[in-house]
Amino acid sequence: MSLFWVGLGLTAAAPVLCSKRYRLHGPAWMYSLGCGAAVLGPYILLCTFLDVATLLAAAAIIGVPFWGYERYRAAKGQQHYTQGIMGYMVELTPVAVFLLLFRSFVAEPYLVPSSSMRPTLEVGSVVVVDKFSYGVRLPFVSKPISHGGAPKFGDVLVFRFPLDPAKPYIKRVVGVPGDNITYQSGVLSVNCAPAVREMEMPYDYEDEASGKLKHATYTLERIQGLQIGTLQDTDSSDFGVNTDFPAIPGCERNVSGISCVVPKGSYFVLGDNRSNSLDSRYWGFVTDKEIIGRAIFDINIDNGSLQFSRLSR
């Protein structure tokens, strides 16, 4: 079930449960449940259309003065100023503040929207994004306020899509500043050292856009001391000079692929699903200011147990 339908269901149930009837005659838990749904339902609905950080920041900015005023009235022995749904929203303000700070400076979840990172990450996978390893950033400010490490080869990176910063993307770093990257006829090379294919086997998956079964080849590659599982789509051909995307400064396209020198403060990224990924081969480099964080864990529920798979070193 999508978040939209969860939010819609909670919003629809709220007027019935958070009503005067249950407030006066009980049961009290029903009234509390309804008022909670009246707060969470619209929030979840808005999360399907707006950035979560923006919603949390708005809730904190609006709620903190009311929350402080309620604490003042409580200290004076006075009744609550806000009642019902508004009262619940005000009481949840510390939660919004905590989540905003935690998501901004520690970690945040990211829901994988496409098959571009298969076989490593499937559609709907939830990953934990580390927000401090590359430097702490203030909410809505792209420049780091503290220095951290730099992305390394093989790191799984979450970043703002350079052509549409409102969209977060997830790809793997295969080129750091100064690297010479080539991707020719489906083979990745870093500083003239090509990836070595150690194993190949069939891999089928359902394409999320068309709903059709796609046939690919799972390939275990070794490059720069790492083993990376990738997919090569047997029904696709590599792009070259015929791509519709504009020229990339520092890169040269030819009939079989692309060659780039990664500039300072930038990174070359690829999806592990090499033939079904919109990445640096098409639109260019990810810069420092576009980085959101490093994906460190993939969270899965298998047979009722929570499992964590490490993504980045």
Q: Which residues are known catalytic residues? A: 116, 171
**In 44-155, which ranges are E strands?**
107-111, 126-130
Three-class DSSP labels, the chain:
CCHHHHHHHHHHHHHHHCCHHHHHHCCHHHHHHHHHHHHHHHHHHHHCCCCHHHHHHHHHHHHHHHHHHHHHHHHCCCCCCCCHHHHHHHHCHHHHHHHHHHHHHCEEEEECCCCCCCCCCCCCCEEEEECCCCCCECCCCCCECCCCCCCCCCCEEEEEECCEEEEEEEEEEEECCCCEEEEECCEEEECCEECEEEEEEEEEEECCCCCCEEEEEEEEEEECCEEEEEEEECCCCCCCCCCCCCCCCCEEEECCEEEEECCCCEEEEECCECCCCCCHHHHCCEEHHHEEEEEEEEEEEECCEEEEEECCC
